[in-house]
Structure 1
């Protein structure tokens, strides 16, 4: 039989940080968030929207802010746990109770609640597919272009298509295509230089 602790996934270290997590809970209880349990651990919601979660990991315990990307983070506390995957989630990691500063934590949580009230969220990227007939024509003429374009992630393909198709006039679309063809052939994403 599997013991309970094998089954906790990301929560399997919560016991190690029991006191620390109780301390975080007492701080969070001072806010208007409601505690729920999701994915096997405590998640705090405002108006049924996930605002923060807490949990223990092997080397630290953490609060994560579901829409942490919008926090001002004036004290530079937040980290993005998975750079390429996570768009909005941010973690604040602690390695001891001494690191827990109630006033600052409350400041961050209050800001997160305000952002939730204002409806600041990153829209999920289920975007309408964009078709660029002009780019398609170029690819028919130039198989190497088609092959190079296929190597990009769907997200980067979308950026190119959006860039071309948001132009109002055909001549602008064509000039944008001329601009992106060398980028595509050199495997350079449209916004790579900003990433």
Structure 2
């Protein structure tokens, strides 16, 4: 077992008992324990199968290819509406987890079989994402901005395209583009840290609010 995982659990202010139990369940399933993205990560033959993580209102098992799970109990959750591959099993108490351990193991074993079979989640390509007219106009009037945008990783570009396209009103779409301009020139994604103080690098954890 990884010392980083021990430290992670020992430092938790919330969900310590729940995640300790889930950790033991993962190890019983024959997964290899590692520590990635600041969270306990469990792998099979070197491939990521799931993460354990905590939020304000719940703790969760995040299956990296959860979209491929049968989800016989219809309890898997998308963290956001734009999440393509990952799915969560969410819990709010130790009393909720204990009777569900057989079912949890069923889901974990299915996820392992998906890895054994080498299955992949079919992801949307960048071409599948809508580019709003307001962004196209910005590119036409500011070629340097277009270069900065196209230099971003495809994942970061997709995040921005979704963010810019969502508002129904044109003025809101324009405002979102303007508000993200600095981030884009910095080569940062919509949820990347730009203050340098986040404890969840490269993701923003809200630390910037303490330094404004």
TM-score class, shorter? 0.5 to 0.7
Partner of 1:56: 54
Contact kept in structure 2, 1:15 and 1:56, CA below 8 Å? no
Q: Under a length normalisation based on structure 2, what TM-score does the superposition of the two structures give?
A: 0.53
- Alpha-carbon displacement from aligned partner over 1:67-90 (angstroms, at most 9, x marks no partner): 000111111111001112x10100
Residue 46 of structure 1 deviates from its aligned partner by 0.8
Partner of 1:69: 67
- Alpha-carbon displacement from aligned partner over 1:140-162 (angstroms, at most 9, x marks no partner): xxxxxxxx986499xxxxxxxxx
Partner of 1:111: 110
Distance 2:87 2:134 in 1: 27
Aligned partner of residue 34 in structure 2, secondary structure: strand
Contact kept in structure 1, 2:68 and 2:121, CA below 8 Å? no
Aligned partner of residue 74 in structure 1, secondary structure: coil
Residue 32 of structure 1 deviates from its aligned partner by 2.0
Note the residue ranges of structure 1 that are not aligned, 5 or more in a row. 1-7, 131-147, 154-195
Residue 55 of structure 1 deviates from its aligned partner by 1.5
Residue 126 of structure 1 deviates from its aligned partner by 5.1
Shifted more, 118-127 versus 55-64: the winner is 118-127
Residue 121 of structure 1 deviates from its aligned partner by 1.3
Structure 1 ranges of 4+ moved more than 3 A = 123-127, 148-153
Distance 2:23 2:95 in 1: 15
- Alpha-carbon displacement from aligned partner over 1:108-166 (angstroms, at most 9, x marks no partner): 00000001111111245557x79xxxxxxxxxxxxxxxxx986499xxxxxxxxxxxxx
Contact kept in structure 2, 1:14 and 1:57, CA below 8 Å? no
Q: RMSD of aligned C-alpha atoms?
A: 3.0
Note the residue ranges of structure 2 that are not aligned, 5 or more in a row. 1-7, 136-212
* Bigger Rg, structure 1 or 2: 1
Distance 1:90 1:149 in 2: 27
Cα gap change, 1:16/1:76 in structure 2, threshold over 3 Å: closer, same or farther? Answer: same
- Equivalent residues, number: 126
Counterpart check, 1:97 vs 2:94: yes
Q: Under a length normalisation based on structure 1, what TM-score does the superposition of the two structures give?
A: 0.57
Counterpart check, 1:87 vs 2:74: no
Contact kept in structure 1, 2:60 and 2:91, CA below 8 Å? yes
1:38 is matched with which residue: 26, 36, 39? 36
